[in-house]
Structure 1
Amino acid sequence: MAKQALIVIDIQNDYFPNGKWPLVGVEAAADNAARLIQAFRDSGQQVVHIRHEFTSDSAPFFTPGSSGAQLHPKVSNRADEPVVLKHFVNSFRETELEAILDQHDIEQLVVVGSMSHMCVEGTARAAADLGYAVTVIHDACATLDLEFNGQRVAAAQVQSTVMSALAFAYASVLSTEEFLAAERVTPA
């Protein structure tokens, strides 16, 4: 069986209530991500955390060295779980993520995190382009309302659009329950 890893993208303090850039449904998404983290830990499989920091103090959120840029306590890494620092949407761009996955012979990625329409989508697409089999857990991801051309796009619509696009050609898209019920987390 191919080895898989859980990729936990940008579940950081600024995305939570009282943070600089709160997301819709972030608490429930983080709770589901925590369940998946525990399942991967229990099975002895790799968990990789991604943490975004902008390079400028004038960034709207995730400013360098800020508490808002730290991983949220619901999904804190263990000492044996790498945390990849990134400065771009795509978690593979100018990071050691691919090297970490190669070091552990990972072929399948399970992706959770924030924001669905940016870093989750960018990373899932890049992973598929690099040849990984990708699964995105939609209810362990969060986004926010957007605006385009003067129109408000509700977070639920953003989420549905992103997940349907990923499911079309880049990833399997499942709920936490579907993933766990299918016993897709197997001992390493």
Structure 2
Amino acid sequence: MADTALLVIDLQNDYFPDGKYPLAGIEAAAAKAAELIAAARWNGVPVIHVRHEQPEAEAPFFGKDTPGAQIHPLATPLADEPVVVKHNVNAFLDTGLDGLLKEKGVASLVVVGAMSHMCVDAATRAALDLGYAVTLAHDATATRDLAFDGVAVPAASVQAALMAALEFAGATLRPAGAIATDWAG
């Protein structure tokens, strides 16, 4: 566990019901993420937050210096927890995240956050490509309904397809409670 960190991706206000881009199940997912954040802190697992920010305030969501771009109170970082600000979907692209993880001796990541089909997917795949072992707390992630070529895809189907794809790609999928129990034990 000494080489493990919890990566909290984009649990920001705009994804919640009063935000500009609400996700299906975000409140339940964020509650599970908050439980895992608390377990990580209690058990000495480093917590690293990622916050997406668009360069302009008028962006559809996560606009620069807007309340929607701020981390949601359920995932508020402690003063000593790093916050990596990103401007791309992939948390590793053009950020110091990989260097920060290497500096801390991290070889294994537990990932929580949003959106499953975008930033969680991109960070998980990048972490796997960079050689990190990745465990995804599948019940601590959220997405939204999508559509393609006239086909509506409910959020639950998007979530299931994404989790299956990430497991196939090499991530380990577990519920947040099981991960927290392992850390405590």
The CA distance in 1 between the partners of 2:123 and 2:169, in whole Å, is 14
Matched, 1:14 2:14: yes
| TM-score, normalised via structure 1 length | 0.95
Partner residue, 1:81? 81
The C-alpha deviation readout for 1:87-141, integer Å capped at 9, x for no partner, is 0011000001111101110000000000000000000000000000000011100
Partner residue, 1:96? 96
**Kept in 1: contact 2:25–2:142 (CA 8 A):** yes
Matched, 1:157 2:157: yes
Partner residue, 2:68? 68
Read off the aligned partner of 1:153 and give its amino acid letter. V
The CA distance in 2 between the partners of 1:103 and 1:39, in whole Å, is 22
Question: How far off its partner does 1:179 sit?
Answer: 2.0
**Kept in 2: contact 1:4–1:108 (CA 8 A):** yes
Read off the aligned partner of 1:146 and give its amino acid letter. L
| TM-score, normalised via structure 2 length | 0.97
Q: 1:93 to 1:186 in 2, by over 3 A?
A: farther
Partner residue, 1:4? 4
The CA distance in 2 between the partners of 1:82 and 1:186, in whole Å, is 23
The C-alpha deviation readout for 1:132-167, integer Å capped at 9, x for no partner, is 000001110000000111111000000000000000
**Superposed CA RMSD:** 1.3
The C-alpha deviation readout for 1:16-44, integer Å capped at 9, x for no partner, is 01100000000010000001001110111
**Kept in 2: contact 1:41–1:47 (CA 8 A):** yes
The CA distance in 2 between the partners of 1:82 and 1:170, in whole Å, is 26
Read off the aligned partner of 1:23 and give its amino acid letter. L
Show structure 2 runs of 5+ residues with no match. Answer: none
Read off the aligned partner of 2:102 and give its amino acid letter. D
Question: How far off its partner does 1:2 sit?
Answer: 5.4
The CA distance in 1 between the partners of 2:2 and 2:99, in whole Å, is 17
Partner residue, 2:46? 46
The CA distance in 1 between the partners of 2:157 and 2:137, in whole Å, is 17
Show structure 1 runs of 5+ residues with no match. Answer: none
Read off the aligned partner of 1:117 and give its amino acid letter. H
Partner residue, 1:178? 178
Partner residue, 1:23? 23
Deviating runs (4+, > 3 A) in structure 1?
none
| Percent identity over paired residues | 53
The CA distance in 2 between the partners of 1:116 and 1:33, in whole Å, is 13
Task: Kindly tell me the number of residue pairs found equivalent between the two proteins.
Answer: 185
